[in-house]
Amino acid sequence: MLNPSKSGWIRKYFSLIKDYREILNTFPGTLLSTEELFYAVLQPTGIMYGYPTSFLFLDNNLMASLSRQETFKVLLLEGLILTDHLKKGTFDLESLEASVEEFVRFYEETEIEKAKKGWLNFKDLTVYEKLESIINQRVDIKTSFTHKLWTTYLYNSLIFHDLVLYNEYHEGVDPQFIMDRRNRVQLDVIKLIAVAANVDGVLTEEEEAIFEVFMASADLERDERDEVQLFWNAKKGLSDMDLNYERTWVLNRYLLEIAILTVWSDRVVVDSERAFLIDLTEKLGVEPEEMDTSFSAIQAFVVTNYEAIPFLKGKNDAILLMDGATERWKSILGRNKDKLAAELKESKELMALIAKSTTSELSKEEKEQAKTQLKDLARTIPSLTIFLLPGGSLLLPIILKIIPDLVPIAFRSNQIEDDSGTDETL
């Protein structure tokens, strides 16, 4: 039995992982870049949002026997392993064991964390003991919280940034630069939460809890805390944030999704919040469509883990969730209306499934067929790569019902008139 609270758990973990290549083969490499693959594999686990929902390589049934802290320890290790694999292209027990030393070097050279001995331990630590000590300290938050609702949802989300930085470390970026970048990004993440929370003029309990958890996750200096407080007190806003430094696609996605998560914490997005998110996409230099796809990714994550998410308790919340998803997908698909219509003309099978979905519920097999067809469309319409994410298939009924309204011409071009003058779909 794996026990991440006891010494030796990393070696035990290595002995447990089986069929580890399956998750890496889930996403066709021809559709996603390395960064997109990194995001696509990690996002559904909840590590970005601080809510662990699944492992990468272990059986998820093991979660029932682990605490949230222990689950995060495993996820952080798996994230480091994934990052290593995507860069090195090797994934076997020998390469995994060799990577342990590199994980330790990364944390110690960047001074993100250093291994510590127990007070009764007088011998030198092995590399495995060092990594276990480092992971334990990274996941642990010693601060006490006042908001119990959201602290059960968000827990040390900033450890996802460790993986972003380890990716840079792999590229040969100077450790001192990584140290400086880490401090700047974690400060910007918290500022964004503060700005997002204040956009509608009302600070909710959920927003306050998110802010508190991220503040506890960051090791800010006193002057940095004072600066963040100006944003929290609405004395500074998005225009006061300096985001003029080089950022990767993954880092942009992370900043955007943390802002979306804050705005959406009450399940309602008002006009001022929508305008803020549009301004943020411009400031980050990303397309507005990124905002919609990020929103959809978060929604797919929540829908997939609906029963476990503390703030989604009632039917009304579920309705709000799906209504929001519908509007966002209308926006995404609407921008690609002409291309979508042209592509649909070439896919008679998908056309038939879409037509059927407007009048009756598709079977499980038909939904899988439609999902496969939409994946093919993603080759020319990148927005549809959401269906490559676990949970993306839950949005399928929404998409199938939206498409006929957006591209009716695609259906009319595949219809003929019968003798009575009515249309008949081929």
Q: Which helix or strand (DSSP H or E) is residue 417 part of? A: strand 415-417
Q: How many Cα atoms occupy the beta-carbon half-sphere of 422 within 13 Å?
A: 3
Contact 398, 329 (CB under 8 A): yes
**CA atoms of 109 and 128, how far apart (whole Å):** 17
pLDDT of residue 364: 79
Tell which phi-psi region holds residue 221, choosing left (phi > 0), alpha (psi between -120 and 50) or beta: beta
Q: Which amino acid is at 376?
A: D
Q: Is 284 helix (H, G, I), strand (E, B) or coil?
A: helix
Q: Which helix or strand (DSSP H or E) is residue 416 part of? A: strand 415-417
Q: Which helix or strand (DSSP H or E) is residue 423 part of? A: strand 423-425
Give 117-159 pLDDT, tens digit per residue. Answer: 766 565 688 999 999 999 998 887 655 555 554 444 445 778 8
**CA atoms of 74 and 4, how far apart (whole Å):** 7
Contact 68, 91 (CB under 8 A): no
pLDDT of residue 353: 79
In this prediction, residues 47-71 reach a mean pLDDT of 86
Task: Tell me the range of 73-82, 294-303, 394-403, 409-418 where mean pLDDT is highest.
Answer: 73-82
**CA atoms of 141 and 381, how far apart (whole Å):** 42
Kind of pairing between the strands at 415-417 and 423-425? antiparallel
pLDDT of residue 91: 64
pLDDT of residue 337: 75
DSSP 81-150: HHHHHHHH---SHHHHHHHHHHHHHHHHHTTS------TT--SPPPHHHHHHHHHHHHH------S-HHH
CA distances from 118 to 104, 122, 244 (A): 17, 8, 42
Would you list the domain boundaries of the chain? 1-140, 175-335, 339-426
Indicate the CATH number for domain 175-335.
1.10.3680
In this prediction, residues 245-263 reach a mean pLDDT of 92
At residue 32, does pLDDT exceed 80? no
Match 């331990």 to its residue by tokens. Answer: 121
**CA atoms of 67 and 73, how far apart (whole Å):** 10
Match 């219809």 to its residue by tokens. Answer: 415
At residue 422, does pLDDT exceed 60? no
Identify which has the larger pLDDT, 16 or 422.
16
At residue 191, does pLDDT exceed 90? yes
Q: Is 415 helix (H, G, I), strand (E, B) or coil?
A: strand
pLDDT of residue 311: 46
CA distances from 426 to 372, 411, 414, 415, 416 (A): 21, 9, 6, 6, 7
DSSP 205-250: HHHHHHHHHHHHHS---HHHHHHHHHHHTTSS-GGG----S---HH
At residue 315, does pLDDT exceed 50? no
pLDDT of residue 363: 83
pLDDT of residue 96: 79
pLDDT of residue 421: 42
Per the prediction, the chain carries an average pLDDT of: 79
164 phi and psi angles, rounded to 5 deg? -65, -45
pLDDT of residue 285: 94
Task: Tell me the range of 166-175, 226-235, 302-311 where mean pLDDT is highest.
Answer: 226-235
pLDDT of residue 157: 74
At residue 414, does pLDDT exceed 70? no
pLDDT of residue 400: 72
Predicted TM-score (pTM) of this structure? 0.74
**CA atoms of 6 and 19, how far apart (whole Å):** 25
At residue 200, does pLDDT exceed 90? yes
Check residue 269 and report its DSSP letter: -
Q: Which residues contact residue 92 at a Cβ distance below 8 angstroms, ignoring those fewer than 6 apart?
A: none
Identify which has the larger pLDDT, 361 or 46.
46
